[in-house]
A and B are shown apart, each in its own frame.
Chain A
Amino acid sequence: MRKHLLSIDDLSADDMQTIFETAAEMHDVQRRDVKKLPALRGRTVINLFFEDSTRTRSSFEIAGKWLSADVINLSAKGSSASKGESLRDTVLTVTAMGVDGLVIRHSASGAAQQVSEWVSCPIINAGDGTHEHPTQALLDAYTLQRTLGSLEGRHVAIVGDLTHSRVFRSNVKSLVKLGAQVTAVAPPTLMPSGVATWSKEAGFTTAYDLDEVLAGAHGSVDAVMMLRVQRERMSGAYFPSAREYTVGYGLTRERLGTLREGAPILHPGPMNRGLEIAADAADAAQSVILDQVSAGVAVRMSVLYHLLAGPTEGVTP
């Protein structure tokens, strides 16, 4: 495994399976009364968050703590540029305190990669702008595998604000690597630029019509991943109204009824109930949204373990 986890590009399919196997063991630990493992005792992990986050930060914090690492949360909200300090100075200052791993969240795409070029410790990308969120994609794939078994040949529809979604960019890579078929659904205004050529190279398809996709126009759908759509997007003229968005792209009660029985419903959270996902869908028996959250801790424990616990024999470099 590579030193850093900046992007799903850093992982092979085998690496991902290794992470999932360890995550499954960690998942069992989660159900114990005493949850601590000694794997990272004496190691210090800093969660350096330049952007607000509750769930991802807590998930990494719990993951680190259950592995006995000393976890420190640093909030550096607001761009460092506006504070007069360069990102490089901020990061060098933090790492000079003596850290073994840095978990970074930043509102700017590419920030984790830039930081990895300045410091010597492993960097875990906890979300960089609209670029990637690799641990989210790992926990999504892990959750899907536990529900569906192997993802080989399975068809996942990813629906929503693709252009602003780091979750989409990481997921499309991980799911394709694991052999799944991916159909990305959004109105044209929320498709990433250049997606026509990108999708061809990356091996996924795109569609504007969610009902056609759910009806099997691209093959029967095995799982649906709904992405958060921010209401502020309306001011950017991305779509006319919340109502129109829901009619076109929401997982409504009607659409829930068309899903294959037991087809898992995913959402990275936080959800806009009633906008991109109806309450009936979010709370349906086939919804795995809370399983995603619980898997998040296990997967992040696994990632921390593989990147920080020392020797990593038997894994691709």
Chain B
Amino acid sequence: MTSLLIKGARILGGAAADVYVDGGTITEIGSVDTKADRTVDAEGLVLLPGLVDLHTHLREPGREDAETVLTGSRAAALGGYTAVLAMANTSPVTDTAEAAERVHDLGRAAGLVDVQPVGAVTKGLAGEELAELGLMARSRAKVRVFSDDGRCVADARVMRRALEYVKAFGGVISQHSQDPALAGPTACCHEGELSGRLGLPGWPGVAEEVIVARDVMLARHTGSRVHVAHVSTAGSVEVIRWAKAQGIAVTAEVTPHHLLLTTDLLAGYDPTFKVNPPLRPDEDVEALREALADGTIDAVATDHAPHARHDKEHAFVDAAFGMLGLETALGVVSTVMVGSGRMDWAGVARAMSTAPARIAGLDGAAPDGAGGHGRQIAVGAPANLTLVDPSATWVVDRAESASLSRNNPWHDRKLTGRVHATFLRGVPTVLEGALVR
């Protein structure tokens, strides 16, 4: 293990200090003159705890033409992430201990971020029988977050049992809230004036809200933890705010795209903007920003969803759902939330590192020495760190992505705030905005 000195970084955007890292652990903070193997000049840069993404699709195994654990890890590191949760909707589905360990091991082999598999709630994501939740939890991957993401656990009985069952090992169900009767598989555009005009099958906000409302009541009834994935409507925010006020154990995430992009982008039928849940109108976007700022929504999660070009080049209703997000998330949050003065960098650290690490149980140390994410930047903490240039203004170019896919809705968009460096337990994975290896 080598030593690292980060000179003059503004910790959480506050006062500048030097941070000395030895053996992957922060050993000194303040004015440090000790010589290190590597010194990073961080003047003017903001130092955050390494970002943690609760919601990433890495596509391996099954769709290695769209993304692999390695290429997704690269994109994650470039985006300032030190840990990502890899969703279970791969082929085969991550619904067994073996499948979870495989993803976990691929992540460790890539070595750029801690890849933590999410386990499926139900076998094959079919929504009927529970997957082997306990065996996944006991496995080397120590799965704690379970989700059928891409599909809703629609059956209330199955959801109730899943919530109860994972209590034994401190698990959490991350729900893709979409009532299939109100928003079926073809639903692809926010139901409203635009869907009416375009003749696209509508995906009404209420299809999300009824599931969120049901699930918080199930969480209350069972005394379990529920996490609401990719909240997209003002109505869901109201329900979550109410539930938290009741003391119900609910947490929620919002995606960068739901914080900035709106449904009117669908007017040209460009499948790049087709995502599930769909882009919503301004009123919802505003409610989501407010909820993120006041903590009703705990975390920003990317829902990074790479797709091969040919899976997007279908007619709009036939094209795949999803968009890239890992490399742009910090820039979007910086632009939308920090640039507008609604959040400070401490707030960004909370929403993009501390809260997601806590929700996923990644704040503690894993048996293999991984983990320790979302911790306070303090002496003794693992050096999972992200350096951000808060004033860097950049134009997103989809061609420059480390992802294998190009379904990038941020292409040509100007963002302020960019990841400068990422350190995983003291080892730089990104320096000067470029991968170290």
Most buried by A among B204, B268, B269, B271: B269
User: Per-position contact with A for B304-321: 1 when CB-CB < 8 Å, else 0?
Assistant: 000000110111111100
The smallest beta-carbon distance between B254 and chain A, in angstroms, is 24
The smallest beta-carbon distance between A126 and chain B, in angstroms, is 14
Given contacts A89-B310, A113-B268, A113-B269, contact A195 B196 (CB under 8 A): yes
CA–CA, A113 and B316, complex, Å: 10
In the complex, chain B residues whose CB is within 8 Å of the CB of A109: 198-200, 269, 315-317
Most buried by B among A87, A106, A110, A132: A110
Counting CB contacts under 8 A, is B197 at the interface? Answer: yes
In the complex, chain B residues whose CB is within 8 Å of the CB of A197: 193
User: Per-position contact with A for B300-341: 1 when CB-CB < 8 Å, else 0?
Assistant: 000000000011011111110000000000000000000000
Counting CB contacts under 8 A, is B417 at the interface? Answer: no
Counting CB contacts under 8 A, is A274 at the interface? Answer: no
Q: Which residue of B lies closest to A92 (CB)?
A: B313
The smallest beta-carbon distance between A244 and chain B, in angstroms, is 23
Within 8 A of A (CB), among B194-210: 194-200, 202, 204
A129 pairs with B192, CB closer than 8 A:
no
Interface of A is mostly: mixed
B196 pairs with A198, CB closer than 8 A:
yes
B316 pairs with A110, CB closer than 8 A:
yes
The smallest beta-carbon distance between B206 and chain A, in angstroms, is 12
CA–CA, A192 and B191, complex, Å: 10
A108 pairs with B318, CB closer than 8 A:
yes
CA–CA, A79 and B319, complex, Å: 11
B192 pairs with A193, CB closer than 8 A:
yes
CA–CA, A88 and B310, complex, Å: 8
The smallest beta-carbon distance between A49 and chain B, in angstroms, is 14
Counting CB contacts under 8 A, is A12 at the interface? Answer: no
CA–CA, A106 and B269, complex, Å: 14
A87 pairs with B199, CB closer than 8 A:
no
Residue in B196, B198, B202 whose CB lies within 8 Å of A110 = B198
Q: Which residue of B lies closest to A88 (CB)?
A: B313
A87 pairs with B191, CB closer than 8 A:
no
Counting CB contacts under 8 A, is A131 at the interface? Answer: yes
A87 pairs with B313, CB closer than 8 A:
yes
CA–CA, A108 and B314, complex, Å: 10
- Which range holds the interface residue count of chain A? 20 to 34
User: Per-position contact with B for A81-122: 1 when CB-CB < 8 Å, else 0?
Assistant: 100001111000000000000000011111101100000000
In the complex, chain B residues whose CB is within 8 Å of the CB of A312: none
Given contacts A80-B314, A109-B317, contact A166 B199 (CB under 8 A): yes
CA–CA, A36 and B303, complex, Å: 58
A130 pairs with B199, CB closer than 8 A:
yes
Q: Which residue of B lies closest to A84 (CB)?
A: B310
Counting CB contacts under 8 A, is A163 at the interface? Answer: yes
In the complex, chain A residues whose CB is within 8 Å of the CB of B319: 81
In the complex, chain A residues whose CB is within 8 Å of the CB of B196: 163, 192-195, 198
In the complex, chain B residues whose CB is within 8 Å of the CB of A166: 199
In the complex, chain A residues whose CB is within 8 Å of the CB of B195: 193-194
Within 8 A of B (CB), among A200-258: none
A131 pairs with B199, CB closer than 8 A:
yes
In the complex, chain A residues whose CB is within 8 Å of the CB of B317: 108-109, 129
The smallest beta-carbon distance between B334 and chain A, in angstroms, is 32
Within 8 A of A (CB), among B229-245: none
A198 pairs with B318, CB closer than 8 A:
no
In the complex, chain B residues whose CB is within 8 Å of the CB of A193: 191-193, 195-196, 202, 204
In the complex, chain A residues whose CB is within 8 Å of the CB of B314: 79-81, 86-88, 108
B197 pairs with A110, CB closer than 8 A:
no
CA–CA, A108 and B318, complex, Å: 8
Counting CB contacts under 8 A, is A169 at the interface? Answer: yes
The smallest beta-carbon distance between A151 and chain B, in angstroms, is 22
A81 pairs with B269, CB closer than 8 A:
no
In the complex, chain B residues whose CB is within 8 Å of the CB of A79: 314-315, 318
Residue in B269, B271, B313, B316 whose CB lies within 8 Å of A89 = B313
The smallest beta-carbon distance between A84 and chain B, in angstroms, is 9
CA–CA, A107 and B197, complex, Å: 16
The smallest beta-carbon distance between B280 and chain A, in angstroms, is 13
Q: Which residue of B lies closest to A114 (CB)?
A: B269
CA–CA, A202 and B198, complex, Å: 14
The smallest beta-carbon distance between A206 and chain B, in angstroms, is 11
The smallest beta-carbon distance between B62 and chain A, in angstroms, is 16
Residue in B191, B193, B310, B315 whose CB lies within 8 Å of A198 = B193
B313 pairs with A194, CB closer than 8 A:
no
In the complex, chain B residues whose CB is within 8 Å of the CB of A81: 314-315, 318-319
Given contacts A86-B313, A113-B269, A198-B193, contact A132 B318 (CB under 8 A): no
In the complex, chain A residues whose CB is within 8 Å of the CB of B194: 194
CA–CA, A171 and B417, complex, Å: 48
In the complex, chain B residues whose CB is within 8 Å of the CB of A88: 310, 313-314
The smallest beta-carbon distance between B284 and chain A, in angstroms, is 14
A194 pairs with B310, CB closer than 8 A:
no
CA–CA, A118 and B17, complex, Å: 54
Within 8 A of B (CB), among A153-178: 163, 166, 169
CA–CA, A192 and B195, complex, Å: 8
A80 pairs with B199, CB closer than 8 A:
no
Within 8 A of B (CB), among A2-61: none
The smallest beta-carbon distance between B289 and chain A, in angstroms, is 23
In the complex, chain A residues whose CB is within 8 Å of the CB of B315: 79-81, 87, 106-111, 114, 129
User: Per-position contact with A for B61-103: 1 when CB-CB < 8 Å, else 0?
Assistant: 0000000000000000000000000000000000000000000
Q: Which residue of B lies closest to A118 (CB)?
A: B313
Within 8 A of A (CB), among B126-181: none
CA–CA, A308 and B423, complex, Å: 60
CA–CA, A184 and B319, complex, Å: 32
CA–CA, A166 and B191, complex, Å: 17
16 contacting pairs across A/B (C-beta < 8 A): A81-B318, A86-B313, A88-B310, A88-B313, A106-B315, A107-B315, A108-B315, A109-B199, A110-B200, A110-B315, A110-B316, A131-B198, A131-B200, A163-B196, A192-B197, A194-B195
Which 7 residue pairs spanning A and B have beta carbons closest together? A194-B193, A110-B269, A108-B315, A192-B196, A130-B199, A131-B199, A88-B313
Given contacts A88-B314, A89-B310, 9 further A-B contacts (CB under 8 A): A80-B314, A86-B310, A86-B313, A87-B315, A114-B271, A192-B197, A193-B193, A198-B193, A198-B197
**Which B positions have Cβ atoms within 8 angstroms of A?**
191-200, 202, 204, 268-269, 271, 310-311, 313-319
